[in-house]
Amino acid sequence: MSGQESVRRLAARRTILGAGLAAGFSGLLGPVLAGCAPVARSGVITVAGGEPGGFYLEFAELLAASLQLHGVAESSVVKATGGSLDNIGHLLSGRATLAVALADAASGQVKGGGAAAGNIVALGKVYENYVHALVRKDSGIRSINDLAGRTAGVGRQGSGTSQIAPRILEVAELGESSSGDGSGKSATMVDLGLNDGLRALIGGGIDALFWSGGVPTAAIAAAHRKAGLALLDLSATLPALRQRYGSFYDKVLVPEDSYAGMPAVWTVGVANLLLCRGDLDASTVRRTVELLVGNAGELIPQSSVGVQFLSPESLINTADVPLHPDAAAAYRELHG
């Protein structure tokens, strides 16, 4: 399917936006986007997404199609990656123009004093990510405490999950440091991403799989239909997470039937940011911001039941990852 065909189909789909978004900004942004049409387009924009079957990659594909359709780029390319940390590496090396990343992972890189400090900035907060702690429905595992002595996949190296999952196990006193007394209280952590992890979970190679992504995540929905999965409530870990690692983390609800037949489950949420390098040109930055606001309906996957932040009031809340200066200026012009 071409980018244009994809976006035309998406235009007819149900969208879940902030209250008043369409009414408040459709009239404003129509002239703005039309006025930008004569601006020279960027050549090729590469969007770093995530693993196949995950929400990052799906969003990246929609964004790339929209960038090309509306003339922000002559062409746009989507890159499948390992996730947040991998994406930041792609930005720093120049292999990607735009990238999605979890706010906690991005903040750690920006504040860490390394190459990302001063070089990686945000275009906006776009989605809520939901930490999935998945187990087989017939496993007998009912809470995170039941993972003591078990094996858990904690994300592919380079992913945001590989940062947050060990933190969750640590504050639940199931981290690697809990194994020193020989009690078997710790969980054994293995580096497995979404697709390899689901295969291992269904096949019995691991007892649990952590994944941070949108709701529903397509690959998880397919695995659940095949084998029957369950989600663990992670909300009890939230106070310690926030105290130890900062206010990136929120209590969020995976709605009932997000995955067929699953009850509603509370879990940990962390925002997903759209990032770029600080030297990205002003025209591309401004026109991308205008797309995020004025064409938000094109950027929401068909199956999404989770929270989107595609309104100016929410997009600007990028925690301690600074907005690109031209993005901040664009939001001021759009929202005051």
Res. 9: pLDDT tops 90: no
Residues 109 and 87 in one domain: yes
Check which CATH number belongs to the domain holding 69 and give it: 3.40.190.10
In the block, residue with structure tokens 């989770």? 306
Residues 23 and 107 in one domain: yes
Residues 134 and 266 in one domain: yes
Domain boundary among 254, 270, 286: 270
Burial 172-209, CB ≥16 within 10 A → b, else e:
bebbeebbeeeeebbbbbbebbbebbbebbbeeebbbb
User: Tens of pLDDT along 211-253?
Assistant: 999 999 999 999 999 999 999 999 999 999 999 999 999 999 9
Q: What average pLDDT score do residues 24-39 get?
A: 37
Reported as a pLDDT band with limits 50, 70 and 90, residue 73 is: very high
In the block, residue with structure tokens 């904690």? 154
Query: In this predicted structure, what is the pLDDT of residue 336?
Result: 63
User: Tens of pLDDT along 271-292?
Assistant: 999 999 999 999 999 999 999 9
Can you say whether residue 290 is alpha, beta or left, with left for phi > 0 and alpha for psi between -120 and 50 degrees?
A: alpha
Residues 187 and 247 in one domain: yes
Residues 136 and 250 in one domain: yes
Residues 214 and 329 in one domain: no
User: Tens of pLDDT along 100-155?
Assistant: 999 999 999 988 877 888 799 999 999 999 999 999 999 999 999 999 999 999 99
Based on the structure, what is the number of domains in the chain?
2
Residues 118 and 163 in one domain: no
When the pLDDT of each residue in the chain is averaged and rounded to a whole number, the result is: 86
Residues 32 and 17 in one domain: yes
Range of the domain at 313: 3-127+272-335
* Helix extents (H) in 157-301: 161-171, 194-203, 218-227, 238-245, 282-294
Domain boundary among 270, 293, 321: 270
Domain boundary among 230, 245, 270: 270
Residues 216 and 142 in one domain: yes
Give percent of the chain with pLDDT exceeding 90: 72
- Whole-angstrom Cα distance, residue 135 to residue 42? 45
Higher pLDDT, 217 or 41: 217
In the block, residue with structure tokens 């860490």? 112
